[in-house]
C-alpha cells in the first residue's frame, strides 16, 4: 500500500515537471510595471479624454434619470429622454474603447456628485434650471471642446471615428437645451 502511494506521488511529480519548465508570465505587479513601456503623449491624452468623456456620460445619464421624474417641463423631459437614449448607444462603444486600453468606467467626480445631490433636493422650475444649466449646457459645452481637440489630435483611428460620430449629437443636445429652457445660461461658470 505504501509503495503504491509513493509510486503515485512520483508519477504526479514527473507529470508536473514539464509544466514547471514552461516560461511563466510575470504575475507580480512591481515586476510587471518594470517591464511596461511608458505611454506616449498622444496615448496619455487619449486615455485622459476617455476618462473625462466616460465620467461626463455617466453624470448626464444619472441626472437625466432624475429629470425624467422631477421636471414638470415637457421640453426638459424630452431633452432628458434624448440624453438617455444617446447614453444607451454611446456607452457600449465607450466601454469598448476603455476596455481596449485596460481601463474601467470611472466613478463620478466630486463636482458631479455635488450637482446630483443638489438636483435630488429640487423639483419643478428650480430643478429644470439647474439641470439645463449644469448638466446640459455646461457639461456639453466642455465636452464639445474636448471632443473637438481629440478629433484633431488623436492618433487612434477608432477613437477618432467614435468622436466624429458623437460630436453632432453633443451639438444638437446643447442647442436643444437653449430651446427647452430659454432663460438658462452659463452664469456662474461652475466647472463640470
CB–CB of 130/119 below 8 Å? yes
For residue 32, tell me if it sits in a domain. Answer: no
Of residues 24 and 114, more confidently modeled: 114
| More confident site: 180 or 94 | 94
Does some domain include residue 19? Answer: no
Instruction: Give me the pLDDT at residue 192, please.
Output: 42
Instruction: Report the pLDDT value the prediction gives residue 37, as an integer from 0 to 100.
Output: 79
Does the residue 103 lie in any domain? yes
Closest CA to 103 of 169, 53, 140: 53
Q: What are the two backbone dihedrals, phi and then psi, of residue 133, each rounded to the nearest 5 degrees?
A: -70, -50
pLDDT, average across residues 160-173 = 93
State the pLDDT at residue 188. 43
For residue 22, the 8-state DSSP code is S
Domain membership of residue 11 (yes or no) is no
- What would the mean pLDDT of 97-112 be, rounded to a whole number? 92
Residue 146 belongs to domain with CATH number:
1.20.1260.10
Burial of 21 (0-12, 13-18, 19+ CB in 10 A): exposed
| Phi/psi at 169 (5° precision) | -65, -40
Domains of the chain: total: 1
Spatial contact of 131 and 76, defined as CB atoms under 8 Å apart: yes
Residue 45: CB atoms within 10 Å: 16
Question: What pLDDT, on the 0 to 100 scale, is given for residue 175?
Answer: 87
- Collect all residues with Cβ–Cβ distance below 8 Å to 6 and sequence separation of at least 6: none
What average pLDDT score do residues 121-150 get? 92
Q: Is residue 124 part of a domain?
A: yes
- Residue 7 counted as domain residue: no
Does the residue 80 lie in any domain?
yes
Q: For residues 144 and 34, what is the distance between their CA atoms, to the nearest angstrom?
A: 37
Distance of CA 34 to the CA centre of its chain: 28
What range defines the domain where residue 47 resides?
A: 42-180
| Residue bearing cell 445619464 | 61
Mean pLDDT for 173-180 is 81
Mean pLDDT of the chain: 83
Does the residue 21 lie in any domain?
no
Short-list 50, 149, 131, CA closest to 84: 131
Amino acid at each position: 500500500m505504501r509503495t503504491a502511494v509513493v509510486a503515485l506521488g512520483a508519477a504526479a511529480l514527473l507529470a508536473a515537471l514539464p509544466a514547471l519548465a514552461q516560461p511563466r508570465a510575470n504575475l507580480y505587479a512591481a515586476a510587471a510595471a518594470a517591464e511596461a513601456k511608458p505611454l506616449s503623449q498622444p496615448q496619455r491624452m487619449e486615455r485622459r479624454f476617455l476618462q473625462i468623456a466616460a465620467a461626463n456620460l455617466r453624470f448626464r445619464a444619472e441626472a437625466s434619470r432624475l429629470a425624467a421624474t422631477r421636471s414638470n417641463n415637457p421640453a426638459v423631459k424630452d431633452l432628458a429622454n434624448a440624453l438617455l437614449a444617446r447614453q444607451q448607444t454611446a456607452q457600449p462603444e465607450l466601454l469598448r474603447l476603455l476596455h481596449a486600453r485596460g481601463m474601467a468606467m470611472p466613478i463620478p467626480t466630486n463636482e458631479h456628485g455635488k450637482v446630483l445631490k443638489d438636483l435630488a433636493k429640487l423639483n419643478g422650475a428650480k430643478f429644470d434650471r439647474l439641470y439645463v444649466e449644469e448638466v446640459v449646457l455646461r457639461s456639453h459645452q466642455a465636452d464639445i471642446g474636448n471632443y473637438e481637440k481629440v478629433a484633431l489630435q488623436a492618433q487612434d483611428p477608432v477613437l477618432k471615428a467614435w468622436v466624429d460620430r458623437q460630436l453632432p449629437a453633443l451639438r444638437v443636445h446643447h442647442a436643444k437645451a437653449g430651446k427647452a429652457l430659454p432663460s438658462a445660461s452659463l452664469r456662474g461658470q461652475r466647472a463640470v
